[in-house]
């Protein structure tokens, strides 16, 4: 169904002057030079070995070289001393900032504000391109339903629609208006695909995913990134249904190229081609190189597979030179699009643009906007004028490196402003700040500091307890089977609570943690995913009421880890949860047959600790009924769903309004709710805003069999279609995924 447009795009691109330049270059390249363009190495400065390989045309790209002087010299060797003068492209993982660090991507997603993501990526591009980096390995748009997985921190959470919107915003931010502008960096949509499905939340682990679910859940953010113009893609480490992504022609050719008509460049992950050997998919590096090239991987990141074996494989006929030409065309197209042929060098004469006031200001707002208020009993927050003293406690209160989170190679902790430093400098003249960490790092199990922390609490009006996870506990290969607060942090909270003072628990973490018990103890809970360089001022703005919290969860928070995977867009089952009896309420001797037979856990019930989309404000919003422009949606037509939302509280504030839809009966079972839109609106106190969403047939479409009546055919992928089926739909306009009253309409 996509092939017609793919042909059209290919035909069109043949006429493009860039394609003509590529044709001309390709016709002059030797096989070895072509393969050189497909080779990416990690920087080792100006070592002879590196310059010799560049001179010989054996390197297409270098990652992790950061010295602009070295970058320019290596580029000079490529441009002036290699036979064809093809420039290098320098790459780096600039994930949520280069120097000015924004909240981790999960935190950015919690802002439900695409502008936050776009601004963060733009600043990252401006800062990193100033040293010569023109390609970043971001955004990571792997959706995941597993908070044990360390890389959830790098993701935009559990929902494909939210991840699509945020990922596209990041692509726009990185790539700017023109990719050829020296301040733009090529984005890389990663990891293609389904890396977030890793079994048991353990990194690099296997995945087994029916094609329907792959298309329905894991692929949409990648399609959105491709549509937003992401210049490159990266494959993933995992195998999918037994085939590693690096050797997966279905993903990298059939879906990406043939169906989507993508003409960007596909890079392997670090050594992932070579890793097809331990996967048990290839006997040796040569076989791996052949499988990867045949599967459509254009560039080998630090695997030495292509450079060592591709020439022989072509000569033997295992890999067609046509495939090599296609890959090299993709690499060269990237370099032309980046303007590297015209402007290969980085300008080193410019002023230092790191940590500009404007960037820090945006990072601070992003930190504030991504904090999620989960609880606020007796309106403990914001800390008001009557508060004369605060105790600032906890291992994350003054931990500059931890607050910038995972995947920050270049952020400098000495530039972090911690919550303690921010509270002191912003409010130190108004309130007495008594600092006592209690624990020196998140895993600290010693009880020695607890007594002093309690003493500080007793001397203060309010306790601000900054708990959470160190940065190193999330990120790549940093998975946890137990996602509770580590160390003696819960003990410290209990002791603080026993002082009788109001306790505000601020969690700074790389993932949702199981904090049900702790949330019960605390008077207020503010959840901040590691919020970056300006985490301190951003959180202080929220805590002291300069900013009203407006973040909402981009992921479901489980009560206990055994509920994982737990997500809002689940299926209803044939026996949805009802009459829940929890384990402690079962009387001794109760008969097996007397408790009912519905779908829940005896010890956790059926609800999460906090649902997807949830987040409180200092004000109150009252949602009116959902009004539909019609109760019927015609094929090809549209329907407007609207809702009046009134700010009935005491603060002007922003609210992330969410649109959910349910398809009641499908030829395949449909989720109980799916996010189809959101809009963050600012409403002054006492005022009402009308929020409207337009729904079309496309919003109701899903992947299923062409044969509506036969669910079995869903397993024959050649018959899959993405269409909407006739029937009844519910539509919610709601503050989160667990509330609201729907309106109903039908699709003809
Ligand atoms: C990660 C990628 C990253 C690459 C280069 C790999 O280990 O999976 O996301 O871009 O390293 O640093």
Q: Read out DSSP for 269-302? A: -TTTTGGGTTTTS-SSHHHHHHHHHHHT--BEES
| CA–CA separation, 669 and 14 (whole Å) | 43
Amino acid 7: pLDDT: 43
Ligand 1 center to residue 61 CA distance, Å? 15
Which residue, of 306, 337, 368, is where some domain finishes?
Answer: 337
Those residues whose C-beta lies under 8 Å from the C-beta of residue 79, and which sit 6 or more positions away, are 85, 86, 87, 344
d(CA 535, CA 542): 11
Query: Is the same domain home to 524 and 397?
Result: yes
Residue having the nearest C-alpha atom to atom 10 of ligand 1: 137
Inside any domain, residue 551: no
325 and 383: one domain?
Answer: no
3-state class (DSSP) for residue 372? strand
Q: Are residues 627 and 593 in the same domain?
A: no
In the numeric block, the tokens 């890959």 are attached to 327
Given 303, 337, 371, the domain boundary residue is 337
Angle CA(314)–CA(318)–CA(322) in degrees, nearest 5? 55
Residue 259 within any structural domain of the chain: yes
Give pLDDT, residue 718: 53
Residue 645 CA to residue 427 CA, distance in Å, equals 34
Minimal-distance CA residue to ligand 1 atom 11:
270
Which residue has its alpha carbon closest to ligand 1 atom 7? Answer: 270
Counting ligand 1 atoms within 8 A of each CB, the residue from 105, 476, 478, 479 with the most, and so the one to mutate, is 476
Domain of residue 294: give its range.
92-337
Give Cα 100 to chain centroid, integer Å: 18
* Weakly modelled stretches of the chain, pLDDT under 70: 1-14, 707-718
Query: At 198, is the secondary structure helix, strand, or coil?
Result: coil
Strands 653-663 and 727-734: antiparallel
Q: Are residue 332 and residue 363 in the same domain, yes or no?
A: no
Q: Please check whether residue 566 is in contact with residue 145, taking contact to mean a CB–CB distance below 8 angstroms.
A: yes
Block residue for tokens 């043939």: 258
17 in a domain, yes or no?
no
The atom of ligand 1 lying closest to the CA of 237 is: 8
Judgement on whether residues 528 and 601 belong to the same structural domain of the protein: no
Q: How many CA atoms lie within 13 A of 234 on its CB side?
A: 28
Closest CA to 357 of 444, 415, 291, 399: 415
First CA to last CA distance, the chain = 23
In a domain, 343, yes or no: no
**How far is the centre of ligand 1, averaged over its atoms, from the C-alpha of 709 (Å)?**
44
Q: Note if 631 is an active site residue.
A: no
* CATH number of the domain encompassing residue 250: 3.20.20.300
Q: Are residues 688 and 598 in the same domain?
A: no
Q: Flag whether 56 is in a domain.
A: no
Report the alpha-carbon distance of residue 132 to residue 79 in Å, rounded: 15
Q: Both 581 and 514 in a single domain?
A: no
Q: What is the pLDDT of residue 5?
A: 42
Same domain, 535 and 651: no
> Do 150 and 256 fall within a single domain?
yes
- Of 119, 142, 146, 269, which is the active-site residue? 269
Phi/psi at 11 (5° precision): -60, -40
Of 40, 41, 93, 174, the residue with max ligand 1 atoms within 8 A of its CB, to mutate for a pocket test, comes to 93
Decide if 9 is inside a domain.
no
DSSP summary character for residue 558: P
Minimum CA distance residue for ligand 1 atom 8: 269
Backbone angles phi, psi at 474, to 5 degrees: -130, 170
Number of Cβ atoms within 10 Å of the Cβ of 145: 22
Structure tokens at 372: 């999620």
Read off the tokens for 143: 């959706």
What is the C-alpha radius of gyration for the chain, rounded to an integer number of angstroms?
Answer: 27
Residues 109 and 204 in one domain: yes
Q: Phi/psi zone of residue 547: left (φ > 0), alpha (ψ -120 to 50 degrees), beta?
A: beta
The structural domain count of the chain equals: 4
Residue 376 near residue 110 (C-beta atoms within 8 A)? no
- CATH code of the domain covering residue 475: 3.40.50.1700
Q: Tell me the CA distances in angstroms from 648 to 112, 621, 624, 655, 657, one per residue in order.
A: 22, 6, 12, 12, 16
Q: What is the dihedral of CA 354, 358, 360, 361, to 10 degrees?
A: 180
Comparing CA positions, the residue from 418, 369, 403 lying closest to residue 101 is 403
What is the 8-class DSSP label of residue 428? Answer: T
- Residue 616 inside a domain? The answer is no
User: Residue 370 C-alpha to ligand 1 middle, in angstroms?
Assistant: 25
Q: Quick one: 410 and 472 in the same domain?
A: yes
Report CA(71)–ligand 1 centroid distance (Å).
21
Closest residue CA from atom 5 of ligand 1? 270
Beta bridge partners of 675: 660
Nearest in space to 480 (alpha carbons), one of 11, 147, 68: 147
Outline where 159-202 has alpha helix (H).
Answer: 160-175
Pocket of ligand 1 from Cβ distances under 6 Å: 93, 137, 190, 269-270, 476
Does 451 share its domain with 586? no
Query: Is 31 inside a domain boundary?
Result: no
Q: Give residue 524 CA to ligand 1 midpoint distance, Å.
A: 37
């Amino acid at each position: 169904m996509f092939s017609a447009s793919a042909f059209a795009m290919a035909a069109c691109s043949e006429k493009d002057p860039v394609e003509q330049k590529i044709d001309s270059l390709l016709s002059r390249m030797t096989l070895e030079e072509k393969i050189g363009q497909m080779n990416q190495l990690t920087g080792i400065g100006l070592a002879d070995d590196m310059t010799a390989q560049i001179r010989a045309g054996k390197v297409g790209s270098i990652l992790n070289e950061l010295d602009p002087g070295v970058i320019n010299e290596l580029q000079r060797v490529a441009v002036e001393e290699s036979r064809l003068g093809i420039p290098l492209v320098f790459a780096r993982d600039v994930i949520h900032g280069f120097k000015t660090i924004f909240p981790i991507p999960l935190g950015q997603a919690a802002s439900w504000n695409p502008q936050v993501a776009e601004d963060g990526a733009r600043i990252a591009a401006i800062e990193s391109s100033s040293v010569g980096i023109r390609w970043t390995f971001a955004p990571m748009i792997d959706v995941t339903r597993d908070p044990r997985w360390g890389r959830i921190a790098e993701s935009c959470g559990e929902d494909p629609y939210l991840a699509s919107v945020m990922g596209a915003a990041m692509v726009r931010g990185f790539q700017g208006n023109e990719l050829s502008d020296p301040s733009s960096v090529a984005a890389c949509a990663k990891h293609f695909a389904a890396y977030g499905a890793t079994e048991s939340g353990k990194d690099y682990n296997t995945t087994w995913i029916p094609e329907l679910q792959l298309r329905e859940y894991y692929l949409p953010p990648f399609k959105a990134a491709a549509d937003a113009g992401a210049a490159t893609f990266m494959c993933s480490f995992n195998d999918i249904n037994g085939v590693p992504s690096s050797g997966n022609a279905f993903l990298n050719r059939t879906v990406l190229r043939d169906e989507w008509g993508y003409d960007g460049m596909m890079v392997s992950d670090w050594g992932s081609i070579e890793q097809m050997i331990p996967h048990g998919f290839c006997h040796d590096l040569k076989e791996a190189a052949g499988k990867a090239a045949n599967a459509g991987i254009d560039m080998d990141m630090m695997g030495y597979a292509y450079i060592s074996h591709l020439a022989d494989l072509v000569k033997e006929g295992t890999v067609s030179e046509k495939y090599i030409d296609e890959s090299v065309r993709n690499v060269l197209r990237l370099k032309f699009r980046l303007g590297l042929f015209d402007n290969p060098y980085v300008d080193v004469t410019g002023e230092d643009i790191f940590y500009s006031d404007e960037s820090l200001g945006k990072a601070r707002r992003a930190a504030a906007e991504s904090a999620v208020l989960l609880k606020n009993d007796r309106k403990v927050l914001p800390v008001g004028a009557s508060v004369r003293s605060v105790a600032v406690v906890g291992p994350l209160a003054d931990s500059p490196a931890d607050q910038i989170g995972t995947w920050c190679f270049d952020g400098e902790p000495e530039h972090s402003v911690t919550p303690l430093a921010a509270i002191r400098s912003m409010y130190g003249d108004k309130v007495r700040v008594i600092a006592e960490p209690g624990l020196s790092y998140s895993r600290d199990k010693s009880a020695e500091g607890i007594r002093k922390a309690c003493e500080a609490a007793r001397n203060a009006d309010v306790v601000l307890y900054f708990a959470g996870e160190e940065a190193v506990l999330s990120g790549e290969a940093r998975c946890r089977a137990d996602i509770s607060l580590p160390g003696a942090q819960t003990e410290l909270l209990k002791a603080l609570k026993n002082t009788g003072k109001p306790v505000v628990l601020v969690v700074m973490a790389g993932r949702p943690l199981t904090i049900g018990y702790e949330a019960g103890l605390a008077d207020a809970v503010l959840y901040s995913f590691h919020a970056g360089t300006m985490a301190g001022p951003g959180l202080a703005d929220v805590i002291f009421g300069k900013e009203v919290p407006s973040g909402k969860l981009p992921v479901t928070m489980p009560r206990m880890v055994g509920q994982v995977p737990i997500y809002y867009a689940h299926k209803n089952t044939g026996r949805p949860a009802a009459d829940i009896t929890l384990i402690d309420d079962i009387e001794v001797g109760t008969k097996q047959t007397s408790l009912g037979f519905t779908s829940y856990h005896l010890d956790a019930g059926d609800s999460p600790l906090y649902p997807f989309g949830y987040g409180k404000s200092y004000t109150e919003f009252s949602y009116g009924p959902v009004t539909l422009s019609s109760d019927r949606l015609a094929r090809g037509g549209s329907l407007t769903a609207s809702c009046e939302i009134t700010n009935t509280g005491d603060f002007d504030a922003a609210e992330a309004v969410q649109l959910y839809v349910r398809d009641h009966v499908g030829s395949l079972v449909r989720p109980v709710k799916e996010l189809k839109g959101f809009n963050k609106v600012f409403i002054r106190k006492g005022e009402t805003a009308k929020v409207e969403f337009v729904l079309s047939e496309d919003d109701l479409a899903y992947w299923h069999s062409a044969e509506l009546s036969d669910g079995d055919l869903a397993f024959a992928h050649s018959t899959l279609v993405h269409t909407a089926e006739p029937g009844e739909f519910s539509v919610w306009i709601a503050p989160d995924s667990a509330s609201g009253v729907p309106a109903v309409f039908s699709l003809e």
